[in-house]
Amino acid sequence: MKYVVGIGNYTQFDDSIALKIVEYISEKALNKGFEVIDLSANALNIFSYLNSDTDKILIVDCAKMGKNPGEYSIFDFNDVSSDKEVGNISTHENDMIQIIKMAMELDYKIPEIRFMGIEPAEIKSEFGISPILKDSFPRYVEAIINEINTGKN
């Protein structure tokens, strides 16, 4: 099984982008050949999906990477853990990286794990997303579906 995991916070404006994406994919039944999961800020729940039934996980999150707002990057778990430039890109991903490392130490089966980071325009205590992320939304959905199904985006 393949999973697209959205993490973020609905109350922090652009930090909700991944949650809105997995919600949209589910509502529009675009998840052919994979499941979508909203982990919100409950990253420890990833343990439920680290087993022999899981082939691939794509973790999507808002991430400060020094890119232009609305741009995204997709990268391997190993790249995040070894590349200092992207190793601290998001509190959620940083937590997720530590959780996955913990799972490795506990001998969980670790499938192929990829991250998609979306550069925010604004993080603030407000519901919604910025216009640049809203305009790029279809592009994110397409990239996610391509990545989870083919590894190409």
Q: What is the pLDDT of residues 6-35, one digit of tens each?
A: 999 999 999 999 999 999 999 999 999 999
Return all residues near 27 (Cβ < 8 A) that are at least 6 apart: none
Answer whether residue 78 shows pLDDT above 90: no
Residue 151 or residue 102, greater confidence: 102
- Could you tell me which residues come within 8 angstroms of residue 91 by beta carbon, excluding any fewer than 6 positions away? none
Neighbouring residues of 136: CB distance < 8 A, sequence distance ≥ 6: 70, 72, 118
CA angle 97, 77, 65 (to 5 degrees): 80
Token pair recorded at residue 84: 């200092």
Lowest mean pLDDT among 19-28, 33-42, 113-122: 33-42
Per-residue confidence (pLDDT) for residue 95, from 0 to 100: 72
What the chain holds in terms of domains, given with CATH numbers, is 2-150 (3.40.50.1450)
